[in-house]
Chains A and B, each alone.
Chain A
Amino acid sequence: MEQAQSLFREGVLSHLEQLEALSYNLAVKQEKQRQEWAALRKNQELVLELRKKRDELKAKIERHKAEIQAFRGREEAGEDHGSAAGTSQQAMLELCVEELKGMLEMHWLTGISGKRTKKGVCVCISTAFEGAYLDSFHLDIALKPSVGISRHSVPPFIPLEQIAKEHLQTDLKKFLSVLFEHLNAYAGRKYQFQQLQSFPGGFVRDAQQGNSLHTVLTFGYNVRVEKQPFCLRAKLLYGGVTRSLPTEAVITCEDNRPSVQEKISSHSSLFCQNPLHRALECISSEDETLNHSSASLLGTHMF
């Protein structure tokens, strides 16, 4: 009897326990499900909202594009056109800020730009060879109480101290433009040397710059004269530190025959008048199309 009793008790209790656990689990599951449904619902709503926003943006863009098209049409017709529709005062001001910021950023492309600092100005001098922008250099210039350079990233072989002594105290603009000329010419010479190194070894070899300022450059290159290969050695001297074209090109060849010497003199002026890589491209293409008179390759009309 006792046994049965205990069994019964156990049975009831454990049954109850089981039931309790079941209901708890169910509740948890339901809650989780509810949460998930809620999240799903929320996501669904978000998606709808985002789609709406996207479509609105698209419509707005289309509208503006049509407007721009219309302006263009009128511009071509030379008419005076009205104001941009649907642009609020606030938006106008925002656009104005954007444009001004764009102009500030765009100054970088002009070679001399800067940003005012607490003590003076941080100047950025950018350099370029033709369309390719190269290194930029910076100078932190204090303007108060006295003018002076506090920090800079100008290489040591640029005579910064000398230029500063001449112009910095009297004319900041002049100082920057003189410094710019030095840096831009140096960057341009360095760029041409780098271009030279990318020529195939069969055509140009032993390219070597003679100093840090890249004012002396030597290399050897191969040409064909009267269907015979010759190796010429060139030494380019850049006499003007603010120039990126050589002032003198000395080309030598062991062979003394007149046809080679003629070639040498034509190349020499080619090197002095054109960027190095262009001159070499021209020489190599001239080699390929043999019957080209060397005279027509000179001058500026070719570029």
Chain B
Amino acid sequence: MDEWIAEFIKRIILKLPFSQTMTILKAWGFLTDSELQTLTLRYPKDITATEVVRLCEAKNATIDHAAALDFVFNHAFSNKKLWTVYQMSKTSESENDLFDASEFKLQFKKSIHAVSKNVTINFKEFGEALWIRIAWGTHNTRPNQYKATFAVYHSQTPHVFITGLGKACRPLLCQALVIASKYSQIQEMELKSRCLESLKDIVFKRFNQPFSSHHSRPHEKALTQKIVDPRVTYENMREKERVHHLTRETFGEGPLPKLELASYKLETMFRAESIMGGNLTAGNEPFRCVVKFSSPHLLEAIRSLAPAGIAEAPISTLLSCIPHKARNSFKITEKRGLHPASSQPTNF
């Protein structure tokens, strides 16, 4: 076994939280149960890591095995990375396509290797998701296994979730994805998060959206707050109920996807009749301003703004449209509406 593979495996083990080490090793599936039984987990982690490497050396682990471990690790701790969503599109709708994963893999590898041979590509399926791991190298350097790019693709969908992609490798990966999945174009969406599952929920429309129907199974819960003195709190209650109702109408009652950030770039011209104004608009430069909202759980925070009395209900659509528009980075300019800067195809 190559020394650098041993080192690579060792570093992954060192990154694991102690309590999860065994779970990850089991999920990896390279070492058998009986081999894992011989392993005693103890501090410092170095000892455990060395022992795992020893077992791997005995079994002569290859780069593919190491990549598999990297998959399992990154799948389990996908929230350690920042994921970006890419959207693909095609000019003509093809007939029923019986997507075949093996053909996809073949095409993908072929189109990357046509340009650069010095790249390791691995695939692993986690349920419906196909994970792709690419370690890039140049013609005189070995592929850098520590800075691999991960792409997650669900067959027959136009979306790919990518993390760790350098600028230089972007065109190559995008081209390979488009060819393998039989699309014609790919574009980065203005949507990023650490929570991969939430990104999927947003673009796959799986998150809880409030829809009105006659068949209303989730019962609208009335506010349980008791009226102590009906004369005093009546107005207040009515207002509270209104706010709750509006909030429920916009966000629904279920859990919301997890995003950490939303940013709004504002560009506007300064218009004033005064001398000061004339001074300020010299050169016709627009004013630029960026507003950023951040929270460990941004949408949940936005939902609670009105009930908490911080903002008026209903909340501005600029904030509440985030999951529906599937973007958390906006550019607001004059006259032309919400997102003129984006050339992204409008997708309903």
| A interface residues with partner B (beta carbon < 8 Å) | 101, 104-105, 107-108, 113-115, 117, 122, 124, 138, 140, 148-157, 159-162, 164, 209-213, 215-216, 237-241
Contacts and interface: CB of A to CB of B under 8 A. Distances in A.
Contact of A117 (B96, B206, B212, B348): B212
Interface in B233-285: none
A217 to B, nearest CB: 11
Given A153-B209, A239-B98, A113 B156 contact: no
Q: Is the interface of A mostly helix, strand, loop or mixed?
A: mixed
Given A105-B214, A122-B212, A140-B211, A152 B96 contact: no
B327 interface: no
B208 to A, nearest CB: 9
A123 to B, nearest CB: 9
Contact of A154 (B99, B128, B156, B205): B205
B93 A159 contact: yes
Interface in B134-160: 154-159
A151 B215 CA distance: 19
A179 to B, nearest CB: 13
Interface in B153-212: 154-159, 203-206, 209, 211-212
Given A108-B214, A156-B157, A138 B93 contact: no
Contacts of A107: 214-215
Nearest to B324: A151
19 contacts: A104-B214, A108-B214, A108-B215, A113-B215, A115-B212, A117-B212, A140-B211, A150-B348, A151-B209, A151-B324, A153-B206, A156-B205, A159-B93, A161-B348, A210-B98, A210-B99, A210-B155, A211-B156, A212-B157
Contacts of A138: 209, 211, 213
A210 B101 contact: yes
Contacts of A164: 348
Contacts of A210: 98-101, 155
Contacts of B214: 101, 104-105, 107-108, 113, 115
Contact of B348 (A105, A113, A149, A209): A149
B199 to A, nearest CB: 13
Contacts of A237: 98
B203 A240 contact: no
A107 B98 CA distance: 34
B108 to A, nearest CB: 15
List 3 A-B pairs, minimum CB-CB distance, nearest first. Answer: A108-B215, A211-B99, A157-B156
Contact of A153 (B100, B203, B211): B211
Contacts of B347: 161
A216 B209 contact: no
Interface string B70-97: 0000000000000000000000010010
B96 A216 contact: no
Nearest to B214: A104
Nearest to B345: A161
A190 B98 CA distance: 15
Contacts of B209: 138, 151, 153
Nearest to B89: A161
A239 B213 contact: no
Nearest to B155: A211
B348 A152 contact: yes
B211 A124 contact: yes
Contacts of B157: 155-157, 212
Name, among A122, A124, A157, A159, the residue most crowded by chain B CB atoms within 10 Å (CB to CB).
A157
A155 B205 contact: yes
